[in-house]
Amino acid sequence: MNLLEGKKVAETIKEELKLKVDKIKNTSHRTPHLKAVLVGNNGASLTYVNNKITACKKVGIRSTLTQFESDITENSLLEEIKKINEDNDIDGYIVQLPLPKHIDEQKVINEISPQKDVDGFHPSNFGKMALGMPTFIPATPLGIIELLDRYKIDTSSKQCVVLGRSHIVGRPISILMSQKGKNSTVTVAHSKTTNLQELTKQADIIISALGIPEFIKDDMVKEGVVVIDVGITRVTDKTKLKGYSLKGDVDFEAVSKKASYITPVPGGVGPMTIVMLLYNTIRAWELNQKSNA
Amino acid sequence: MNLLEGKKVAETIKEELKLKVDKIKNTSHRTPHLKAVLVGNNGASLTYVNNKITACKKVGIRSTLTQFESDITENSLLEEIKKINEDNDIDGYIVQLPLPKHIDEQKVINEISPQKDVDGFHPSNFGKMALGMPTFIPATPLGIIELLDRYKIDTSSKQCVVLGRSHIVGRPISILMSQKGKNSTVTVAHSKTTNLQELTKQADIIISALGIPEFIKDDMVKEGVVVIDVGITRVTDKTKLKGYSLKGDVDFEAVSKKASYITPVPGGVGPMTIVMLLYNTIRAWELNQKSNA
């Protein structure tokens, strides 16, 4: 069994991106700038945003956080989004989800300028991704592709089973794995799938984004399978100081004995996601330079 | 075996659409208007366009054809597209593909106003489709969904294998079948898929869009399978006056003996495609009314 060490790979990519940012700083008067927009005080959201900001600092990307009260109206938020779109000093930005219930998330996403949409959630970017055109690809699927590439895992003609059909992970990774380039034969399983074990047992590659801790057991996979575990759930654990431990969708101890490659949780897909956001931000800087040239 | 008679269903839908158009004519001073843009004199393209225009007439939709010489420059064509976008009297339009080689098709598609893009090929419409948002859905996949609905075929939790990953059929139908609503467990097979027979033999529903005549034989399918045959290829046939007959991807005679439902070729998916273009055109008229209100 080989670990797919996302954390290590992410560190390597960060070094590469830092070199790129250093070069930009030497030749341009403007350093790439990522803004994070946060509405309310959700603890998990704040942690995610802070992780992203810390990562930015490490590679030399400027980052700013704009926080709004949880009772901001939808209209006011949309107005703020428009201002960010027009601010040439912001190359890319993310609106941390989830938003409070009185705000229509899709309406907000639709308002983000596609040129600054480093999360790749805007329909026109999502469409370009699905059509194989150059665009911002959502960070988690992009991180998975990058991880497979760095470990030189052959995906062509392989049976790939994706668990989950979310807009953020399942749907985009299923499309990317199926496109020219990766060339896997992809099956998307979801809550209405009834023969899951049959599917996963046939799979050469399993990409799981369910959010159900230790759902995939060793009797569900075949010898030599490649396992990408996107799930990360807090499970009560009194032996830990924090009172919980983080669990993936996969029963790591058992499944790792049969897998040829497997991502750990934490330290697998998570760090790759953050670093791909940085990658997208530098890309957004390049687009911004061009459109202001 | 039951035939999925696309031709018959399409006639029924045309009658429904005609009633809708009649109602529009009684209440509005503007009848829905579809424009077809054709570059060059490709015989097959001209036939397709003419079929669409004839269908428009049947339901009372106005249709116009704008033809350009095959040597029109890309820039001139893009300028013409812009004019059509701005013409409030045109509700929806299609640019018949393929375009001559010196013109970048994607560039032209990107220029079509998403509000008038009744083919559903623009990235922002394609993205909305993939994200499950209301939009123009490409006519062939939309026709397949409608055909399954009209025959009340249960797709939830079924194994669906899609053959082909084109932007026009394979990719969008695989997404639609997998989304909430249809809820199938979908596998996309393509030219790099090596275990095709294994896949098709497990399938409850096969949707084939390969364009390889009579590729799918009876030993590739299971008893009771639902077969949607999107392929339509001219095969030399000296017993016919025209010198050819039209063949689907499926060996109809053999496979129909095992299938529970199967589309004939011709008379299956083809007529559904045309009628869904009319459906999209009426939808475009509604959008146009709203945006000019």
Q: Distance from CA of residue A75 to its chain's centroid?
A: 28
Query: Same CATH topology for A28-114 and A139-270?
Result: yes
Among chain B residues, the shortest Cα distance to A177 is held by: B188
Nearest-angstrom CA–CA distance, A197 and B209? 28
Which of A157, A171, A199 is facing B193, going by the closest CB pair? A157
User: Which pLDDT band, with edges at 50, 70 and 90, does A291 fall under?
Assistant: confident
Calpha distance A133→A138 (Å, rounded): 14
B168 CB neighbours in chain A (<8 A) are none
Residue appearing with tokens 């064509």: B77
Query: Tens digit of pLDDT for each residue in B20-36?
Result: 999 999 999 999 999 99
Interface contact B200, partner A, CB < 8 A: no
Q: If you measure CA to CA, which chain A residue comes closest to B120?
A: A127
Confidence of residue B293 (pLDDT cuts 50, 70, 90): confident
Tell me what percent of the residues of chain A surpass a pLDDT of 90: 97
Determine whether the interchain pair B128/A130 forms a contact, defined as Cβ–Cβ distance below 8 Å.
no
How far apart, in whole angstroms, are the C-alpha atoms of residue A156 and residue A158?
A: 5
Give yes or no for a contact between A265 and A231, defined as CB atoms under 8 angstroms apart.
yes
Chain A CB contacts of B178 below 8 Å: 165, 188, 190
Give CA angle at B168 (B164, B169), nearest 5°: 45
Interstrand relation of B261-262 and B226-229 (parallel, antiparallel or unpaired): parallel
Q: Answer whether residue B53 shows pLDDT above 80.
A: yes
Which residue type occupies A243?
G
Find chain B residues with C-beta within 8 A of A157's C-beta.
192-194
Residue B211 has pLDDT above 90, yes or no: yes
The catalytic residue positions of A are 52, 96, 119
User: Measured between CB atoms, which of B125, B127, B185 is closest to A187?
Assistant: B185
pLDDT tens, residue by residue, B115-162: 999 999 999 999 999 999 999 999 999 999 999 999 999 999 999 999
Confidence class for position B291, pLDDT limits 50, 70, 90: confident
- Judged by DSSP in three states, B3 sits in strand
CA distance A118 to B4: 44
Express each pLDDT in A258-286 by its tens digit. Answer: 999 999 999 999 999 999 999 999 999 99
pTM comes to 0.97
> What is the rounded CA–CA span in Å between residue B114 and residue B116?
5
pLDDT band for position A243 (cuts 50, 70, 90): very high
* Catalytic residue, candidates B35, B52, B182, B247: B52
Query: Average pLDDT over chain B, rounded to whole?
Result: 97
Residue A67: exposed, middle, or buried by beta-carbon count in 10 A (0-12, 13-18, 19+)? middle
Does the structure show a pLDDT above 90 at B278? yes
pLDDT at A250 over 80: yes
List of residues 6+ apart from A289 with CB closer than 8 A: A28, A30
pLDDT digits (tens, 9 = 90+) for B248-277: 999 999 999 999 999 999 999 999 999 999
**Hey, which residues 160-199 in chain A have their CB within 8 Å of chain B?**
165, 167, 171, 175, 178-179, 183, 185-190, 192-195, 199
State percent of chain A over pLDDT 70.
100
A-B C-beta contacts closer than 8 Å? 94
Q: Which of B119, B229, B249, B251 is catalytic?
A: B119
* A250: three-class secondary structure by DSSP: strand
* Rounded average pLDDT over A223-229: 98
* pLDDT per residue as tens digits for the range A60-106: 999 999 999 999 999 999 999 999 999 999 999 999 999 999 999 99
Mutate to test the interface with A, among B168, B192, B222 (most CBs of A within 10 A): B192
3-state SS, residue A65: strand
CB contact under 8 A, B171 and A175: yes
Q: Write phi, then psi, for A79 (nearest 5 degrees).
A: -65, -40
Q: Could you say which residues from 5 to 64 on chain A have a Cβ atom under 8 Å away from some Cβ of chain B?
A: none
Would the pLDDT of A8 be above 90? yes
Instruction: Classify strands A159-163 and B261-262 as parallel, antiparallel or unpaired.
Output: unpaired
Q: Check CB contact of A106 with chain B, cutoff 8 Å.
A: yes
Pairing of strands B185-189, A185-189: antiparallel
- Whether residue A126 and residue B127 make contact (CB cut-off 8 A), yes or no, is yes
Looking at residue A106, what is its pLDDT? 96
Mutate to test the interface with B, among A106, A155, A193, A197 (most CBs of B within 10 A): A193
The whole-number average pLDDT for the span A182-198 is: 98
Q: Are A31 and A60 in contact (CB under 8 A)?
A: yes
Q: What is the CATH number of domain A28-114?
A: 3.40.50.10860
Q: What is the arithmetic mean of pLDDT over A240-244?
A: 93
* Cα(A61)–Cα(A83) distance, integer angstroms: 21
Nearest to B172 by CA among B105, B123, B116, B205: B123
- Which CATH class name applies to A139-270? alpha beta
Query: Using CA atoms, how far apart are residues B212 and B9, in angstroms rounded to an integer?
Result: 26
Closest CA of chain B from A179, distance in Å: 8
Residue B292 is predicted with a pLDDT of: 79
Residues of B in contact with A189 (CB under 8 A): 185
In this predicted structure, what is the pLDDT of residue A6?
Answer: 98
The answer to whether the CB atoms of B178 and A186 lie below 8 A apart is no
Options B14, B35, B91, B96, the catalytic residue: B96
Q: Sketch the domain layout of chain A as residue ranges.
A: 28-114, 139-270
Q: Which residue is listed with tokens 């998330």?
A: A105
Compute CA distances A246 → A215, A242, B15, B72, B213, whole Å: 14, 11, 58, 61, 52
Cβ <8 Å between A187 and B183: no
Give A171's contacts in chain B (Cβ within 8 Å): 130-131, 175
Give residue A158's pLDDT.
Answer: 98
pLDDT value, residue A246: 94
- Written as six digits, the tokens of A187 are 């099956």
The answer on pLDDT for A199 being more than 90 is: yes
